[in-house]
Every structure is written in structure tokens, then in C-alpha cells.
Structure 1
Amino acid sequence: MPQVETEAETVGEAVVETAPAGGGGRDGVVLPAELTIPALLALRRRLDGAVQALVNDDEAVTFTELDDASRALAAGLVGAGVSKGSRVGLVMANGIEWATAALAVMRVGAVLVPLSTLLRPPELLAQLRVAAVTELVVVPRLRGRDYLAELETVAPGLVAHARAGRRHAAVPSLRRIWRSDELPDATSAAVPSTALLDVVDGLEHAVRPADDLVVLFTSGSRSTPKGVVHTHGNGLRAVAASLDCRRIGRGERLYIPMPFFWTGGFGGGLLSALVAGATLLAEAVPEPARTLAFLERERVTLFRGWPDQAARLAAHPAFAATDLSALRPASLPAVLPAASRPAQGARANLFGMTETFGPYCGSRLDTDLPPDKHGSCGQPFAGVEVRIVDPDTGTAVPPGDEGEIRLRGPNVMRGIIGRSHGEVFDADGFYRTADRGALDADGYLWYRGRLDDMFKVSGATVYPMEVEAALRALPGVADAYVTDLPAGDPGGVGGAGAREVAAVVVSSAHDPDQLTEQARARLSSFKVPTRWLVLGDPHRVPRLASGKVDINALRLLLTEEGVAGPRR
């Protein structure tokens, strides 16, 4: 989105106003000239201090209250040794406490490391090591889990050492562990609170847009977790660039059920509300009936997230009686009135990744794409340059041709922990995404899947995403996931090593025979799945701690429970 500089209404501070294409949000987006969390907090306090920043279950906090609480906590953390460059891990549920702790860390120049509450003990230990976490904040218990007790099972002595302020060989960087209900505040430190607050103010003034903001972990379905490093400047620019397409502005009441430890909840939710001056609605543990009552009470205006999250709510018996009349058309279609839902593929598929701090490509979510662009991801946002190259040679391909998607620009991550610049970026500074796609002559991006997801069936190429899109377009299909398996008859046409197309479909209205028949009308014969598993419960789809589908577990599920479809 183009940016124009104006002058602030008070105190003479220069600000950057994001000029949306077509009147984004409600009032556009105003950003501080210095793109940092402390500068943004100060701006939000001045412009929207009395506005609700976050509503969590039965609690709410205004921007002024959030600024005050995070500043006081920052003073306590500074008194305990947290400073610029510290890496502070957070294992907590969504809520005001999570937001307060995160902002306290980031406003003094320390680096936030959000950690998934879904991680198992070995995974948590590995991410603490990779990110070189120096301080760790952990919720006492969540969903029946005691994370500190679990951590002790894989690293005996680590918790006791860190809680006493001593180092341990299992995570040499770790200096301190706190439970979230015992975080230090300014009054508990030996140094007077006023002096600590002065130190906080000094640290805030020293934060620069180029300073590291957060380490976010991401992983593909087959890869180990990557620690992606974003700076204050690139993270806030990326959030601001997406707001117009996502239709988030001042006055919106945004609900995103994604956890704050994922990019979608952190950048797409918490920081989006902070940048836009919107109100974020969040729940610690979403549950359909309670969520519907929450959304009705809080008059949600935008529901964003994964399509299956909206589909689960729409399928709940209480949905029909829930008043969601405040929802705007940019919300996920499943929760909108039938007459307001766009046609399949008519709205852009917002496309992004952790490495770009969320979506980097899109189009207004309340407006249909031009008919010849249906199914596309829209156009790249300002701050990200997209290049399509031959994945073997790195040479740019002509418009419309498929290749690897590569990205560069001020919104893209600084790097990946443990990897050199040359391993991550090519000679021209483009990030090698390993995504496959095409950029047409009008600048619209078409995503075609992962380079490493392609497989061969009887010598013909199958891209899972293409088959998934065809299956998801079938009436009554809520979702679909496609992969490959060893062919059931290795002595057949394909011989030893032959593969077959396998699909897990979320539906309560189909059986494999019906799905095969309908898929044949949409797909070439070699792309039609020959092994099916139909699930009525979307929760049975196996996922990694990153939220992505676990392909290995999906294949195991298909092997154990899938059934063969009718012969072609």
C-alpha cells in the first residue's frame, strides 16, 4: 500500500499514514515514523487510549491500560535482568496476560520468542536451544498439562536451576524461569520502582526499527522447526501492508481464534489490532457454544482465521440462533448469511508465511476478484517483491509460467537462526520459498503448491493442492487433504515404487464412491484419489505444533483406516 507522510495532530511527531486502495478499514492506518513497538504504543495511547484493545473471555483492557500494565511489567523484568537483546520465551494461552507480557518484553528491546502450548517436551527443549532463550515464562497449568514438570522429564535439573537463576547444560543460554502468575513487577525489585521506570523509558528510546522483535517458529510438514527472526520495522510494515485487504481499521472488532504463538494470532491478531487501533477479541480455549455467545455479546465485526474454524462454528446447533448481524463481508464465508457468501474462488486467497510475517499477497476480502482472476492470491503488497524463477537455474521465467516463488523487500524476515544469509537468500537477495506458483501479466499471483509436494502417478505429475482445490469445491465437502501412498498393487502398471493418490476428506454427506464419481467430473483420471478416508470430525486431521497438517501422520491414518475407491 502506498504511504504518505503527514504531521501528527499533537506534539509535532511525524507519522506515516497508510493510504488504502479504496478506503481501507474505516479511517486508514496511522503509524509512527519510527516503526517500533514503544513508539506504536505511545501513538495508540494518544489516539485511542480509551478504546478497548483486547477483550479476553470476560475481561477487557483499553490501549491506555495495556500500555500502563506492560510498562509496569517491563520495569519488573528489567529489574530482574531482562534488557535489550534478551530472548524471552512465552508459553501461555491467548489473553490479556499474554499480550501484556509480550509487549513488556518487546518495548524494552528484548526479543520475544512465542512458544506453542502444543509442543511436547522434547520439542519445547529443542526450540529453547535453537532460539537461545535467556528467560522463560510458563503458564502454571493449561488443559491439564504442567509444562515445567514435563520439561524436567527431558532435562532433569533444568527447571530447578533456572528458577534459582543458575545455568544448566541442557539450555546454556537460559538464566531464569518464571511461572506466569509470579512475574516480577516494579515494586518487588530491590531498585525503587520510579528508577526502574526511568530505565524502561531509556531502553524504549534506544529501540530502533532494525532491532530484532521476535523469533517465530515455523515448520513444514516434513521439516524441522525454523526460528524466523523479524525486526520491529519489517514486522510492523508487513502488518500495516495487509490491513487494507483484510479490511481492518479503527473501530473494528476482530475475532481470530488462532493462538498468539503463531504468526496468524500474533501478527494477524494482536499486532494488527495495535497497528490499526482495532479491538481484538480472543479466547484462552475456544469452544463452539461459548465462542458463539462471546461473539454475539461482543458484536464481532470481522471473523478471520482458518476456514475450518469458521466451519466448525457454523455446524454447531447454536449457530442458527446466534446474532452475528454485525459481521462484515470480509469475514470468513461460513459464518456469513448465505446470501452474503461469495462464490467459490471469487475472493482472494490471502497468501503468506511466517517468513513474511503473515500475508504478503491479496486483494480486498469484501470484494470479488475480476472473473479471470478467481482462484488467485491477488497481488503482492507494497514492501514485498515477487519473482518467479526456474528452481534449478534461478533464472526468472516469463509472466504466466510456473516456477519457484522468491521474495525480497523490507517486509521480509531478517533471517533464520543458524543459517547464513547465502543459505536463505539468493545472490539477488530473494528468499527461496520452495513454493511453486505463477505471476501473470497483471501481477496476480497463483499458488500451485510446494516444490517438494509433487509426485508421479504412472509417469504423470500430480500436485496435491490442485486435487485438494477440486475436492473442496464439491458441495458438502468442508475440507480435503491429499498426499501419495505406495500403490496398493506394486505389480501393476506402475510397478515397484509406484504411487497412488490418497485423500482425507472432511464431510458428513459423502462416501468414497460418491467422491470418486464427482472427482472424475473435475479431474483427469490419474489425479482422482484411489484411496479415501472420509471424516466427520475435522479435529481428527493430524496437525503439527505449528498448526500445519502432519503429512506423515496423515499417511499413517490413510494406511490404517482408508478404503480403496472404485476402479477407474
Structure 2
Amino acid sequence: MTLGEHHFSEPGYRLTASEFIKQVADAWGDRDLCVIEQDALTFEQAQAQSTEFAKALLASGVRAGTHVGLLAPNGGNWIVAWLAASRIGAVVVLLNTYYKPRELNWVLEHSDVEVLLTVDSHLGNNYVERLESIVEGLDEATAGQIDVASHPALRSVWMWGDQIPSWAGRVDDLIASARETSDAQLLAAENAVAPSDPMIVMYSSGSTGNPKGVVHSHAGVIGHPYNLLQFLDRQAGEVVYTPMPLFWVGGITYVLIASMHAGTTIIFEHQFEPEATLKLIERHRVNHVVGWPHMAKALVEHPSAQHRDLSSVRSGSIEEFLPEHIRIDDPEMRPNALGMTESLGPHSIEVMGGELPPTKRGSFGRSVPGVQHRIVDPVSGAELPLGEMGEIHIKGYSLMLGLLKTDPHDVFTADGWLPTGDAGYLDADGHLYFKGRMGDQIKSSGMNITPREVEIVLEEQDEVMDSYVMGVPSAQRGQDVAAAVVLRPGESCEPTELQARVKHELSSYKVPRHIAVFDSPGELPWLDSGKIDLTELGRLLEERFGS
């Protein structure tokens, strides 16, 4: 295909949550914004319901800058709550429904959540019990008057569901208080919000073990997906299916907000299950399937796939699921993008659909208009010439405001660039070629895992002296989490037992799929310097567990 030029594009209105929902509601009216099972939310309903919810939050004392935690699965409730809090200038902390107690505890405390909006349970996760186990004294607290030493910022919890404890209130009861706030008061609160104000905090795996809170503005969150539409093939009235959680960057920007701009309907489901997903895609005549590569094999090879009418699908991120006549079998010839939470998703991209020119094999596209790239020597900090490999730095309108509770000088360079930790190079035409992580972060099924976070949990086990966590190649998931564990003298423990314990502490996708147990450090490869030979250990784990 011929690669054309693209220019920065933005909506012609003030980039705040209140203006955004008003504009898309006016444009798309009673069209479905999202559907999950029998429940649908139209654009008009999203506007009306978020108006009432915003008034209720104001009546409860939420103000600009209040940190509001949102712990809920994909669906209309999530969208309305996010819009409502954002409209009045509150900062919405997007909480991961996969979090186990340890992770949820750390993020709630780190993010200074004052008001928590949560479901009572989801997919077997009991959040009432989970919160009581991490917030000391919560079970004795009074709804709306929480005051506990472990989480000093937390004041109130509002829940969706049937099992509401005495220390929480019902979201429906909260919304009923909307009548206490006038239209004029809501409008004043909305008008006080600036496009540059923080809108959301998303947590992404950190290099030191704990997740990092990435803060993004209204202008970035609303404007970046609009600018990306010129590279996507979404038309008003079409249908998008995704399993991507809205609390991660791909879900909220690449799917939700881009689809709201375009006027497309999003189909959610509570849980990905190949047969049920195939039925869903057929029933809703889905046009775009946006998910992770590991889904492809499960969908394509499911026995029911050949009996489903999937002719409506015409684009998406899962190549094997596309119609055969537009499929590009060689992965390096497919248009691609490179992104991260800190840049609100893609910072380089190429138009989706069509095959790359042979001279651009392996390209991850060019800079998104409004974004700049440079390649830097990671040791000297000097900018490198075209064609030379180094660390990718980015700069531009979609870049985060910063990391929560982190000095900007520890995040950005003095001249405002963000070192990404990714390795690559630029060619003379501005195409970016990504060659891997500078560090050791694992990416499995599209999810980022920090090895040290897993190692800490393994090393807390009584039998374990040391652990080394790495990624090994996986044909299905890109990488699998693998661990080499050294036991204390005289101890014994099976890999399955260690996996079961870790599963109680960390999200399921972080649990090592493979564990190699060693009785002594001497069984590991060592360097002459007296350090573990991590390169050789990685090779051994890959040889043993890679696929």
C-alpha cells in the first residue's frame, strides 16, 4: 500500500469530559454506546445518567481534585461513573478488577482514594471481603464516615450489587441525592474544569516492583483517541467487540473513547469464552474485533467457528480472525503501532489495513501527528543518528502529566522527553523499528508483569531462599512468566504448591506458569564476578519451558 501523510486532528470543542459527552450525545443520540448481555446504554442515556451521577457526587462532597476510585467491570455503570466524576473535575483512579488483596491495598493507599465506587463482587471475586481484609477497622466503620489509620484518605464507599455492608452505601441511594444539586451548581463545577487538569490515574507495572500511577489530562484522554481515528477504520453505526478492560489504556482510549467519537457501538462480555464469544460476534454482526493475539487461536480453532456466520467482521487487531482476502500472513508486513500507558496508547502508528511496502518490513509506523521520537544512547544520553539502535524517547500532546507521587525530574529529561525503556531505531522516512525492552519487563497476553513483584511474593514463602523471574517465549501468549526458585537448606516444595500460594497474592496473569525448583544456589549458572548469570539462566528456562 502507499503510505500517505497525516496531520494532527482534534475535535472543535473544549476538551473536557462534560463537553465531550454533550457533543457525542448530540451527535449519536439514541444509538447504543455499549451492550453487555441484555443491558444497553445509549449515548443520550450516558449523558443523562452521568449528569445525575455528577450532581449526586457534588451533593456528597466530591469536588475538583477529589480522588475517586472506580472498581468495576466493563459496562454502562463503569462508563457513567467515570464520566460523572470527570465532569466535575474529580480525578478517577482506574482500579484493576484482577487485583488480589495485596495489590488492591497498595494502590488504594498510594492513590489516596477518598471515595470508592465498586461492585460488591465480580467473577468470583468478593470485594466486600477483600476490602475488609485490607482496610483495618473497616467492618466497624460507619457508611460515609470512614476514618481508618491504614488508609487515611478513604472516607466513603458506594457499591453496586446486592450484598452491601454497613460501612458502604448503595450507588442508587447516592444518585437519589442528585436533587440536592442544581443545574447551575453542576454547570459551575463543569466550567471550572480545564483541559489541562488531571482526569484519570491508570496503574501500570513499575520497574521497581510496585505499580506506578500514570496521570493523564482531560485534553489527552479525549483528544488522543480522536487523533488516532484517521488511522483506524471505524464508521458511525458499526459495531466493535472487545474483551479489553476499560481500566487499562487500550480499553479506555483505543476502544471506548475512539468509538464514542466515531459513533460505533461496543459489545462487552463478562468473561472471554471462545464459544460464547463467537456467538456474540455473530449475533451482533460485529465489524471490528479488538483484542489480544492469544485470543486468535482459541477463536479460530474452536469447533463451532466453522458453523458461525462471521462475514460481518472486516477489521481488528487479531489477524487470524479477519476474512481471508484481507489477511496478511506475514506479521512483519502488517501495519503496526507502538504504545504505552504513559503515552495513552500508540505513539507510533500506521494506517490499519493493507500491507506494508517491502522496504518497511517490521516497521511500527511513524510518529502519531503531534508526537515526536528520538533515539538516544542510554549511557551517554546523546541523540543517535538515523539507523542506529538506542533507547526510544517520546514527547508530545498525549504524554502523561506525570507519575503520581514521583518527582518529574525522575521521570522526564530536562528538556521534556520521556525515556520509554524500549529499544529501537528510526529510518530516513521516520519509520520506527521496535527491537525489544531495554529492561526486563514481561509481556504475556498483552499484560505487563514486573518480575520483581512476583519475586517478592515467592521469596516470602518459608521454603524459598531466592527467586529469579523471567519471560520465556510462548506461541500463544507472546511470553509466559517463568521462575527459578532456590529452596532453603533442608526444605522441599513442589512447583504446584508455590503457584497456588502466589495465586492468592497476585493477579492470575502474574502467577508463574512454569517454576524450576533448585535445592541449592550452586545448581544455578554463575559469572566469575560472583553474580548469577541471568542470561544463561534465561536460556535454561527458555530451553525447558519455552514454546
Could you say whether these structures have the same fold, taking a TM-score greater than 0.5 normalized by the shorter chain as the test?
yes
Structure 2 residue runs of 5 or longer lacking an equivalent are 162-169, 452-467, 478-502, 520-539
Residues in 1 aligned to 2:218 and 2:78: alpha-carbon distance in whole angstroms: 19
Asked if 1:298 is matched to 2:257, the reply is: no
Deviation of the 1:544 alpha carbon: 11
Residue of structure 2 aligned with 1:172, choices 139, 142, 152: 152
Q: 1:334 to 1:236 in 2, by over 3 A?
A: same
Q: Cα 1:184–1:546, aligned 2, differ >3 Å: closer, same or farther?
A: same
In 2: Cα distance, 1:546 partner to 1:278 partner: 32
Classify 1:211/1:314 alpha carbon distance in 2 versus 1 (closer, same or farther; 3 Å): same
Write out per-residue CA displacement over residues 244-301 of structure 1, whole angstroms, 9 at most, x where no aligned residue. 2232342331112111111111112221222222211111222222211111111111
2:345 counterpart residue number: 358
What RMSD, in angstroms, separates the aligned Cα atoms of the two structures? 3.4
The alignment partner of 2:125 has SS state of coil
Partner Cα separation in structure 1 for residue 70 and residue 15 of structure 2: 23
- Verify: 1:76 aligned to 2:63, yes or no: no
Rate the CA distance shift 1:159–1:31 in 2: closer, same or farther, 3 A.
farther
Extract unaligned runs of 5+ from structure 1: 1-19, 455-463, 473-477, 484-498, 509-541
Q: 1:269 to 1:546 in 2, by over 3 A?
A: farther
Distance 1:187 1:95, change over 3 A: closer
Give distance in 2, aligned partners of 1:82 and 1:282. Answer: 29
Residue 153 of structure 1 deviates from its aligned partner by 1.8
| 1:316 pairs with 2:315 | no
Asked if 2 retains the 8 angstrom alpha-carbon contact of 1:212 and 1:230, the reply is yes
Q: Secondary structure of 1:179's partner?
A: strand
Partner residue of 1:63? 43
Contact 2:278–2:305 (Cα < 8 Å) also in 1? yes
Cα 1:160–1:75 change in 2 (3 A) is farther
Aligned with residue 449 of structure 1, among 433, 436, 441: 436
Q: Deviations over 1:90-111 (max 9, x none)?
A: 1111111111111111111111
Q: Which amino acid aligns with 1:246?
A: L
Report deviation, 1:180: 2.0
Match of 2:16 in 1: 36
Quote the Cα distance in structure 2 between the aligned partners of 1:250 and 1:543: 44
CA contact (8 A) 2:424 2:434 kept: yes
Name which of 468, 474, 499 aligns with 1:505. 474
Structure 1 letter corresponding to 2:11: L
Query: Could you tell me which of 139, 142, 150 is aligned with 2:130?
Result: 150
2:176 is aligned to 188
Residue in structure 2 matching 1:244, options 202, 224, 230: 230
In structure 2, C-alpha distance between the alignment counterparts of 1:559 and 1:235, rounded to whole Å: 47
Using structure 1 for the length normalisation, give the TM-score: 0.76
2:234 counterpart SS class? coil
Task: Give the Cα separation in 1 of the matches to 2:144 and 2:26.
Answer: 40
CA apart distance, 1:331:
4.6
What CA distance in whole angstroms lies between the structure 1 residues aligned with 2:352 and 2:505?
A: 28
Partner residue in 1 for 2:426 = 439
Matched with 2:360 is 373
Query: Retained in 2: the 8 A contact 1:389–1:405?
Result: yes
Contact 1:73 1:101 in 2 (8 A): yes
Which shows bigger deviation, 239-248 or 172-181?
Answer: 239-248
Q: Map of 1:157-236 to 2, 5 A cutoff? A: 157-158=137-138, 160-161=140-141, 163-181=143-161, 182-184=170-172, 188-189=176-177, 192-193=179-180, 195-220=181-206, 223-236=209-222
Within 2, Cα distance between the matches of 1:543 and 1:278? 39
C-alpha contact (below 8 Å) 1:73/1:184 kept by paired residues? no
| 1:419 and 2:388 are equivalent in the alignment | no
Residue equivalent to 1:405:
392
Q: What corresponds to 1:5 in structure 2?
A: none
CA–CA distance in structure 2, aligned partners of residues 554 and 376 of structure 1: 31
1:269 corresponds to: 255
Q: CA offsets per residue over residues 440-479 of structure 1, 9 Å max, x none? A: 111011111111239xxxxxxxxx99xx9xxx9xxxxx99
Quickly say closer, same or farther: Cα 1:442–1:85, change in 2 above 3 A. Answer: same
Counterparts of 1:381 and 1:401, CA distance in 2: 21
From 358, 376, 380, the counterpart of 1:389: 376
TM-score by length of 2: 0.78
CA apart distance, 1:386:
0.8
Measured after TM superposition, the shift of residue 400 of structure 1 is 0.8
Kindly tell me: are residues 199 and 285 of structure 1, through their superposed partners in 2, closer, same or farther at Cα, counting changes over 3 Å?
A: farther
* 1:360/1:380 contact within 8 Å kept: yes
Matching residue within 483, 503, 512 for 1:553: 512
Q: Which amino acid aligns with 1:317?
A: P
The separation in 2 between residues aligned to 1:393 and 1:448, in whole angstroms, is 20
Percent identity for Structure 1 against Structure 2:
32
Given residue 157 of structure 2, which amino acid in structure 1 is its aligned partner? Answer: I
Deviation for aligned residue 1:83: 1.8
Retained in 2: the 8 A contact 1:112–1:214? yes
**Contact 1:140 1:180 survives alignment (8 Å):** yes
Deviates more, 1:146-155 or 1:69-78: 146-155
**Count of residues in correspondence between the two structures:** 471
Shift of 1:404: 0.7
Amino acid corresponding to residue 392 of structure 2 in structure 1: I
Cα offset for 1:165? 1.8
* Aligned partners of 1:87 and 1:110 also within 8 Å: yes
Letter in 2 for 1:188: A
Cα pair distance change 1:123/1:413, threshold 3 Å: same
- From the superposition, tell whether residues 99 and 160 of structure 1 become closer, same or farther in structure 2 (CA, over 3 Å): farther
Aligned to 1:296, what secondary structure does the other structure show? helix
Match of 2:110 in 1: 130
Contact 1:38 1:204 in 2 (8 A): yes
Cα deviation, residue 239, structure 1 = 1.4
Equivalent position amino acid for 1:337 in 2: P
CA pair 440-558 structure 1, distance change in 2 beyond 3 A: farther
CA distance in structure 1 between the partners assigned to 2:101 and 2:504 by the alignment: 17
Q: Go from structure 1 to structure 2 and tell me whether the alpha carbon gap of 1:558 and 1:301 turns closer, same or farther (over 3 Å shift).
A: farther
| Amino acid paired to 1:145 | N
- Alignment-derived partner of residue 28 in structure 2: 48
Q: Distance in 1 between matches of 2:250 and 2:505?
A: 15
1:39-86 alpha-carbon deviations (Å, 9 max, x no partner): 111111221112211112222221111111111111112211112111
SS where residue 68 of structure 1 aligns? helix
Query: For 2:157, what is the secondary structure of its paired residue?
Result: strand
Q: Following TM superposition, by how much is the alpha carbon of 1:336 offset from its aligned partner in structure 2, in angstroms?
A: 1.4
What amino acid is aligned across from residue 287 of structure 1 in structure 2?
A: E
Contact 1:140–1:179 (CA under 8 A) maintained in structure 2: yes
CA contact (8 A) 2:293 2:476 kept: no
Separation in 2, partners of 1:248, 1:273: 8
